[in-house]
Structure 1
């Protein structure tokens, strides 16, 4: 449980919800009148920490430079706005916060004092000065402004050479069947009969006559000759390629606590 000895350690520490998610950072602590027990932390939340929300810290635990509270970040986000007057919180405002967080106060304790973390050692003197209107919220003059710097990410697109693959020529031998028609000539014999003239020659004796026949046969011979030259050449081809990437951009919102909730 948070008590008076934890007050100094609370300022600017991270507030963690019951799911382990960061809610924001503590900028002010509200104490219970009479006992001085820390009751509420005024936490900067929202974009760039410009929104202030009230978080119950009575049951919080301080460890590792942060405080863990038994409420969720969404509860804090939806908490009712508290418009304090003279740095005090009224009973009605306290009741609204208790109802929102589902808490039941043990007793009516009256108003809570708000402390500025940078001047907690002079709390009594500060309260007197604040009631007299001698300082403005957060220790700033009325004529001072506030500013935030917005940033955004840009895509820088370039090119780099990467190896996509290799192409090579490989020569190997295949065997195929060729059919070629070749004209060939052969000799044939025929018998020619015609009337004889003159002497009969050697009559009534055996006699023979012959002729030699010839034919052509295909002769296959093989020779090697170059038929084609094949080589690889590289050509550079340029094409348009769409590149996508996510970039972050900061935007600013203006949140005001001096207007009724319905008019925001």
Structure 2
């Protein structure tokens, strides 16, 4: 259980669940009006602390430099949304919804604390050693992974003309004449002396024949590579300042 004296060590410090998962940072502590003891703590969750969830603080404990609550991280982040500013109060309906979310018996809790009024936020006062704690907000910048686009491989067919030079041959007729000699006289004297005759020769030629065949030429695949760039993030943080009032230096400055 967290006491009023421990509030200053809780605010703006990390809040973890029992599994060691960080839920967020404690922002405000809400006090029971009847018992005067801390009842709820609001925790900033989400990226850059954009959301705020309420957690019962009765069974929480301070462990080293953080607050540990007996509820899973997802349970805290899914708690009902309650819009209460620092110094404000939880209505009975809001508190009832929170009790129901965390599985706390509403009637038993009220019997322990008597009919309690609304809850309020308390700003911690000076510790017993008369020292004042100065706090300031720090920026904690993280990254989230999201889809930036999609790329796909698509195969389609195009037709293009190609010119290929190929040698072709053909036959031509050439008439050869030779005189009658003793070597060919016998062939020349065969047949009738005077007659009509024909002799036919078949001519041949080559023509190009085009045939296409699909042949693999390359393999194409897509891979991804990660590049890291520097990006500047700007945010506002609050800082506390401590000044002494009523000192002699202040008196001299007023003259």
TM range (shorter): 0.3 to 0.5
TM-score by length of 1: 0.45
**Bigger Rg, which one:** 1
